């Protein structure tokens, strides 16, 4: 588990919370939403999206903010399964390009209370059907942000968590979270081509 006591930037309003500051950073980074802050306050959910271009494939980075009054392990598991099922590839072309993991979904569960959360979120990170799901817990009342343990994640997930750290103000430089995946894809293609060439040569001789 990684936990961040999010610092308030000098220009932030005194009453701003980690969720509001993250939403503001998303807007600065080119994310858009069809909803308003009033919708968020009224309905307890808002979604920010940004289109991505990953090699020759199109992708998307999504931040879902959901207000949860009583966060439990059961709710964590249910939301994980539900979001992954909603965003994983279903078309033939999407499944063929799923190796790129071109969709990244951060589900930010915003919960009430003044007690710190110590949930181990690493086990809820899921890669399925071209989508990577990363849960985040935000407790505005105590300025706490919890996200999966960076040290325990595989190469393709690690930069996605580092990008989240950048948005939260924990890292100074931005992160290309898709670079390791693209590199791995070209390496795999290279290996396949070498094998095909070896097979062709053996057939000729």
What pLDDT score was predicted for residue 20?
93
pTM to 2 decimal places: 0.75
What pLDDT score was predicted for residue 57?
64
- Residue 54 pLDDT > 70, yes or no? no
16-22: average pLDDT: 89
What pLDDT score was predicted for residue 203?
72
Read off φ and ψ for residue 55, nearest 5 degrees. Answer: 55, -120
94-120: average pLDDT: 75
- Residue 105 pLDDT > 70, yes or no? yes
**Mind listing the pLDDT tens digit for each residue in 152-198?**
555 668 888 989 999 998 888 877 765 545 444 444 445 545 666 76
What pLDDT score was predicted for residue 18?
93
């Amino acid at each position: 588990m990684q936990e961040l006591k999010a610092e308030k930037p000098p220009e932030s309003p005194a009453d701003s919370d980690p969720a509001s500051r993250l939403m503001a950073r998303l807007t600065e980074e080119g994310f858009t939403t069809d909803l308003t802050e009033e919708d968020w306050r009224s309905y307890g959910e808002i979604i920010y999206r940004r289109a991505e271009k990953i090699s020759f494939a199109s992708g998307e980075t999504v931040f879902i903010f959901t207000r949860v009054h009583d966060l439990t392990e059961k709710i964590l598991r249910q939301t994980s399964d539900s979001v992954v099922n909603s965003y994983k590839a279903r078309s033939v072309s999407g499944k063929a390009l799923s190796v790129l993991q071109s969709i990244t979904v951060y589900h930010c569960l915003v919960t009430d209370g003044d007690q710190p959360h110590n949930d181990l979120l690493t086990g809820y990170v899921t890669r399925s059907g071209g989508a990577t799901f990363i849960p985040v817990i935000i407790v505005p009342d105590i300025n706490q942000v919890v996200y999966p343990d960076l040290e325990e994640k595989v190469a393709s997930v690690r930069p996605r968590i580092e990008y989240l750290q950048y948005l939260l103000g924990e890292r100074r430089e931005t992160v290309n979270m898709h670079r390791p995946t693209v590199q791995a894809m070209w390496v795999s293609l290279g290996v396949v081509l070498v094998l095909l060439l070896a097979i062709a040569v053996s057939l000729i001789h």
